[in-house]
């Protein structure tokens, strides 16, 4: 037996699960082995994640017994929390994949419009839309960083009120310090009968995050409800860091509601 034949047999036995197109100098083709049976453990259906919970104890109970998550004798209130994965599931509905907006702008809530930067910079279009307030969620001069260079004077002749938020679209940017200011700006605009355009570069991440925060702070939505409300009218893709900050806001608001009820 030649060395070539010996090597060919060795490779044929060791890798007979694959289609071998070249083995040494002799091309060979091997039949694939019958697939392994599909056991149920290998194809589990996706199950829903259990809701995370936090527990609140009365001051008296905290003085008597240190809080213990395993203690059943302590009275406790369970409040469902949200995770970025929960929000991503909503964002990717119904196909399970991300989607991009098909329009430059969309009304995502009564009187609130999400748009890209070109729409926000066309003042004649804004006047036709009846926009009275503009919230730039990407204010800044560095275009290469995804910022949009507008300021109050940019809209002076159009009579449009302006608020700028210098946010970068990355997972480490802390956008939550601007939640309250942006929500108040939007709320006051709607109370005065105006219409608000909220935009960033593409109108899918920073601006969408601020609109969701407004719905949570001023309209009592949960994070899931806010994202679903916006997503119903426009495809959005907030980054994971922004989703985490919306979840943190959701948990903070839930704690406040529960503590007020106790």
Residues with a known catalytic role: 200
Q: How many angstroms separate the CA atoms of 89 and 97, rounded?
A: 9
- Paired tokens of 55: 């527990």
Task: Identify the CA nearest to 185 among candidates 207, 169, 161.
Answer: 161
- For CA atoms 190, 105, 236, 160, the dihedral sign is negative
The enclosing H or E element of 163 equals strand 161-164
Q: How many angstroms separate the CA atoms of 114 and 111, rounded?
A: 10
Report the b/e string of 151-163 with b at 16+ CB within 10 A.
eeebbeeeebbbb
Q: What is the residue whose two structure tokens read 């275009």?
A: 143
Q: How many angstroms separate the CA atoms of 224 and 86, rounded?
A: 7
**Burial of 174: CB neighbours in 10 Å, binned 0-12, 13-18, 19+:** exposed
Q: How many angstroms separate the CA atoms of 11 and 23, rounded?
A: 8
């Amino acid at each position: 037996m030649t060395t070539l034949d010996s090597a060919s047999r060795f490779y044929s036995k060791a890798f007979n699960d694959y289609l071998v197109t070249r083995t040494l100098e002799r091309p060979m083709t091997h039949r694939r082995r019958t697939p392994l049976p599909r056991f149920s453990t290998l194809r589990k259906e996706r199950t829903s994640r259990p809701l995370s919970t936090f527990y609140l104890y009365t001051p008296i109970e905290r003085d008597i017994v240190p809080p213990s998550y395993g203690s059943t004798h302590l009275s406790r209130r369970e409040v469902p929390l949200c995770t970025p994965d929960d929000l991503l599931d909503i964002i990717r509905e119904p196909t399970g994949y991300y989607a991009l907006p098909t329009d430059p702008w969309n009304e995502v809530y009564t009187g609130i419009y999400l748009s890209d930067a070109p729409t926000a910079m066309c003042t004649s279009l804004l006047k036709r839309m009846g926009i009275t307030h503009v919230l730039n969620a990407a204010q800044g001069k560095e275009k290469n960083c995804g910022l949009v260079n507008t300021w109050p004077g940019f809209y002076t002749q159009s009579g449009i009120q302006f608020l700028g938020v210098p946010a970068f679209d990355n997972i480490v940017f802390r956008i939550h310090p601007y939640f309250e200011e942006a929500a108040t700006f939007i709320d006051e605009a709607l109370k005065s009968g105006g219409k608000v355009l909220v935009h960033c570069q593409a109108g899918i991440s920073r601006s969408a995050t601020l609109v969701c925060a407004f719905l949570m702070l001023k309209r009592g939505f949960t994070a899931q409800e806010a994202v679903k409300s916006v997503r119903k009218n426009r495809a959005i893709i907030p980054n994971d860091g922004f989703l985490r900050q919306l979840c943190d806001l959701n948990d903070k608001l839930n704690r406040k509601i529960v503590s007020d009820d106790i």
